[in-house]
Amino acid sequence: MHTAANGTWPSPWFRQLRNCPAPRLRLLCFPHAGGAANFFRPWSGLVPDDVELLAVRYPGREDRFAEPPARSMEELAEPIAQACAGLADRPLVFFGHSMGASVAFEVAARLAAGPLAPGLAALCVSGRPGPGKTRSRGLADATDEELVADLVSMSGTNAEALASPELRELFLPMIRADYRLLDRYGDHLAPGRLDVPVVAYYGDQDEHVDEDAVNAWSAVTRSGFAARSFPGGHFYLEQHAAPLLADLFARLDTSAPQATSA
């Protein structure tokens, strides 16, 4: 496959963040609610030399801003799964943070029924409760002030941008659309659907995700499950990207110990 001049694949669903001419695998990252592919750009210097780093480009943000955001999980996951056909020549590892964890799981579940199933090496979920543990917080219909206060409390990268009234007008509709998608999706994760290992990460000070909620992800796989926490809140991965990725790639090495928690 060839990379377009703007760093995207021929498919509009992926942005290439680190090129690798002959990768041993591809790490495909799924952003959080209100997030975008470039959230993962700092990881480009942290992945191993033989790994290609890609991120999913959701409609309604960055250079897909003119497109309407997805209204349902199916509307989002189905075309991403179809686009993954172009990545079938190398093993894939999915990493999804927050909303992206659910999107990554839904894409993985769709691939499990098709010819790409052997190519998915692992599903890594982050900052998101597992099945039976998610709860709607009603933020899709919150006031602007309530929504901004919630985002600031989580210390996400959008928090600073939301201090500007002009940028709020751009960001808040996109974030509301993502929250509405999650409200419609609910807690539909079905157990026992994957034959790939699942690793769940979370911040030990995340008010919305605790150890019990994270361990519920073990229900979505018939293969191995592991969980690990890092210091911090919902966006712990911004401060701990290097050790997070080191842990992720160590787990992909079959010779590495497969600790169940840390």
Q: Which of 11, 72, 98, 164 is catalytic?
A: 98
98 is an active site residue: yes
Residue 26 phi/psi, 5° resolution?
A: -120, 135
Distance CA 162, CA 148 (A): 7
**CB of 204 closer than 8 Å to CB of 230:** yes
* Token pair belonging to 27: 């790490």
Inter-helix orientation angle 99-112/73-83, to 10°: 60
- Amino acid found at 186: G
Between the alpha carbon of residue 157 and those of residues 12, 207, 216, the distances in Å are 24, 18, 27
Q: Helix (H, G, I), strand (E, B), or coil: what is residue 110? A: helix
Beta bridge partners of 229: 202
Residue 134 carries which DSSP code?
-
- Taking each continuous run of H as one helix and of E as one strand, the counts in the chain are 7, 7
Q: Which residues are catalytic?
A: 98
